[in-house]
Amino acid sequence: MKDTLASAPCTLPEALSRAAQDFPSRGIGILSSRGKDADFRTYRELHDLATDRATRFAALGVDAKEPVLIALPTSWDWLSSWFGLMVRGALPVASSAAGAMGAADAQLAKVRAVMDRIGARFVIGSEIFRRQAVENGHEWAAAAVITPEELAATSSQQGFSRPSAHPDEVAFLQLTSGSTGLSRAVMIRHISAIHNPLVSCEAIGAPDGEPIHDFADAMASWLPLYHDMGLIGCLLLPILTGLDSWLLRPEAFLARPNLWLEQLGKRGVTFAPSPNFGYQLCVERLQSKQLDGLDLSGWRAALTGAEMVRSETVDAFCRVFGPHGFAPGTFRPCYGLAEGTLSVTFDMRGEGARTIPAPVDADAGYALAEVVSNGVPIRDTEVSIRAPNGDQLGEDAVGELWIRGPGVFAGYYLDEEVTAEVMHGEWFATGDLGFLNGGELYLTGRDKDVLIIGGHNIMPDELERVADQVTGGGGLTRTAAFSVARGDAGEQAVLVVETTQRDPDQLKQIEKDIRSKISRAMGLSLADVAFIGRGKIPRTTSGKMRRHEVRARYVDQTLVRLET
């Protein structure tokens, strides 16, 4: 196989310059919400935009190595800001954009908390974002928010010279959670952001004996650019390899999933990533009349990761879209995470999703009768299954997944204590549980409390705080959040709420209020809200909740619920 690293650029600004020079007709198209129009611009245009924005960031006083948040939707304003900060030598930090009016205050509070954690002075956001902030009492936003219009109107700094970068220097910060919760900022080096997508191309193209970009034309994605799969896989990978990238906003995909499939069908030889959730949405939401004329025969790799891959979803997708040219072998399960830059393992056999029976000691709470192979490590990367004491386990033994390789992050920004907890020399302890069989990775659950819903990491304490705002809990009464598997839908969020209330009608109203508040604040639907008596959530001797024990009782139905 061709060595994709032989002549690779050393830094991301160099990669953008090369793309402008080597792939003058290639670029990025951002689709409208109805998919009828696309704003397509070449990598040369992106390079020129980024260079221009870099001079304006310098004029505004943005310093090199300074973290700056970007809270914009998928757009050319986002692209010019992120790459403009990169060229400036600052540290771009992609965050979710301002939500609907009902979610504005929760989103603003999250942005402020992230800014405080990483010491950021500025956030790139819309005028609506700033106005919502001020109207909700966030006075900091008046000076901290820079709108794209203000940036474009700022005079360029005279004599601006691009700072030099070293491959081992930190290039940008990647937030660990997708849309909710207080994120940690993962430090990604230039060399990691280049090595990982290039060797991923080798892994994706392995069944054909050559990197995927040697025979593909484009990729199409609905993933948000603040997600590591969206940023690394759907933006940096095409820039590094000279592919076109067609981007759809997540909200447009949720409303019209057929738009994503249509792009995959009409852009030549294509490939695309998505969490299991995205494939399941296509199965459930699309009617046969929406599929008229759809031809998916050019879709060569359907990457599935970011959450547990479910064989039920794979089977259903193949059944529905097989008549439209989608081959079962197109499915390519993979595993990755922000702390690994993105990719860690890929299924390289090209035989579709393959399963084996789940071990008896796998986490039954995820309803895993069968587990899907996530393949073998990508080039230069190692995986190991460890016992709680750090000892390496043999094949078929379930333990914590550790990884080592060029993609492993440089640590959490301004958080040496937590970094030390998860790094063991060169090895990163992921908190994910699984086992190796025949050298292939199989995931069974997580040893950490984070929920993964629809491919997004959600911190349980964020859900718990919102529920406590309704119940007045957080003191003697608490709420425990966790996830369980619910059929083809995959992981779903569950709340167990302590209360002194016993009246069924009152409990029904409390449940309604909790669901409504979480839906407005996070755009999340709950699978279940279970009420229990005060003091029934198990705690440690220091008073911390034992979420895993609550979840185990819920799953095996030994949780004593109050009647609603």
Q: What is the pLDDT of residues 419-449, one digit of tens each?
A: 999 999 999 999 998 999 999 999 987 766 7
Question: Residues 51, 41: contact at Cβ < 8 Å?
Answer: no
What pTM does this model have? 0.85
pLDDT at 543 over 80: no
- pLDDT category of residue 474 using cuts at 50, 70 and 90: low
Cβ atoms of 378 and 345 within 8 Å: the answer is: yes
Strands 427-437 and 440-446: antiparallel
In angstroms, what CA-CA distances link 510 with 505, 507, 517, 521? Answer: 9, 5, 11, 16
Beta-carbon contacts of 397 under 8 Å, excluding residues fewer than 6 positions away, are 385, 435
- Alpha-carbon gap, residue 398 to 435, rounded angstroms: 5
Structure tokens at 264: 């995959």
* Contact yes or no for 248/220 (Cβ under 8 A): yes
Alpha helices in 76-126 (DSSP H): 76-88, 104-118
Among candidate residues 398, 397, 257, 385, the one with its CA nearest the CA of residue 317? 257
Specify the DSSP class assigned to residue 279.
H
Q: What percent of the chain has pLDDT over 90?
A: 69
Concatenated DSSP letters for 89-100? T-EEEE-PPP--
Convert 417-454 to b/e letters by CB count within 10 Å (16 or more is b): eebeebbeeebbbbebbbbbeeebbbbbbbebbebbbb
- pLDDT by residue (tens digit) across 99-121? 543 456 767 888 888 999 999 99
Minimal CA–CA distance to 189: which of 16, 63, 64, 10?
10
pLDDT computed for residue 491 by the predictor? 81
Residue in the structure block whose two tokens are 């029976």? 357
Above 90 in pLDDT, residue 354? yes
In the chain the domains, ranked by start, together with CATH numbers, are: 12-23+186-446 (3.40.50.12780), 41-165 (3.40.50.980), 459-555 (3.30.300.30)
Per-chain mean pLDDT for the chain: 90
Residue 181: its pLDDT value, please? 46
**Phi, psi (rounded to 5 degrees) for 236:** -70, -40
Cβ–Cβ under 8 Å, residues 263 and 220: yes
| Most trustworthy range by pLDDT among 100-109, 132-141, 405-414 | 405-414
Confidence of residue 366 (pLDDT cuts 50, 70, 90): low
